[in-house]
Structure 1
Amino acid sequence: VAAQESAALQILLEACLETEEDQTKPELMWSLREVRSIICSFLHQVFISEPSLAKLVHFQGYPRELLPVTVQGIPSMHICLDFIPELLSQASLEKQIFAVDLISHLSIQYALPKAMSIARLCVNTLSTLLSVLPSDLRLELFQPVLKSLVRICIAFPSLLEDITSLLLQLGRICESQASLGHCWNDTNILGEGAYVQSDVQNDTKV
């Protein structure tokens, strides 16, 4: 029964997605905002009455572009702080990415000590994964979470040093792989758009 209810909530969440047509017609954007408001209000009541259902929905996942909508529109989203560590511990990279993105938005919305503790756990987990993942999976994990790390820094400046250290370590690994002839941007993962033209010039002035 819970799985069926979760599937129904997933359908409601998908109705909150913005389409290309929404972007071109202001009246559709107004309608979308109203739809989001109604759905978020309903989900709030569901999550309050059945926290386990909130956990199931987030373990199954939904489009990450909806996280700003759900975190800002559903007041009870703070209960996700209770199960994000478990979500982060899943073997699936997709779930780990979702967990990091989720805590980054929650950190902006609820800059609480508990949120900071979980955000620090995410940074430590990413640091561990950085040292054990092969290059292709490293790209698959780190490219989507870069903006999440920025949000965490904004919410909790005290984590800036740890995140900077993580990114410097990532840069050193990528530089090392590049010197060995490995390209960090892998078209097998992201397609032709994976290649990013470098802004670094040969003659660098200090």
Structure 2
Amino acid sequence: MSVTATDPGADVSTVVASMFTWPLGEDAALIPRTVAVAESYQALLEANHERLARWFPGFDRPPTPEGTRADLELRGQAWLDGSQLPLVVAVRAADGWQLAGAVNLLVNGPARSGEVGYWLDADFEGRGLVTRAVTAVLDHAFGRLGLERVELRTIPANERSRSVARRLGFTQEGVLRAAAAFADGRRDEVVYGLLAAEWHRPVSPAVGVEQP
């Protein structure tokens, strides 16, 4: 379900125009996940709450504007202190920009490692947005941030996420038994790992060039 703010995409378009923007081609970009996009992000969470609760721990309760804003404030501080790279995927719309999903990189500076996570609104699946977004984050992680290792974790049933991991060259390293705590019980987590020396940007088979 595509989502915009009450004034469609107003907060998102303002951020794209005035703040850090990470292009993902002509149709999409990554922007900071901070209180500047709180209204649109709350709407996106509300529209995707049931889907997210299936795949991610911690989504057992519907999001509230107050809770979302508090979370975004914490993530903005984490951006500043270098412990996290919280981003949202913005896509072009007829009347500006709108949010389509989120990408996050947790950073362990002393260990020179990180953990990437992501999710996408169902209406935007099949456009390569997750692959493009995670590719950009991995380029940054293994480039400017100088990380040596990035992990990706998901539950075994999340085949879409596992497919992204395989497509980007991650190696399945093991299964953590009952590691994910959901409201209805614990579930296993599949752990994937990617080393800096193994990172190669994916090539689009349709055009034979690197994806943006």
Q: TM-score, normalised by structure 2?
A: 0.28
Determine which structure has more spread, i.e. the larger CA radius of gyration.
1
**Which has more helix, going by share of residues?**
1
| Structure showing greater relative contact order (alpha-carbon pairs closer than 8 Å, 6 or more residues apart) | 2
Q: TM-score, normalised by structure 1?
A: 0.29
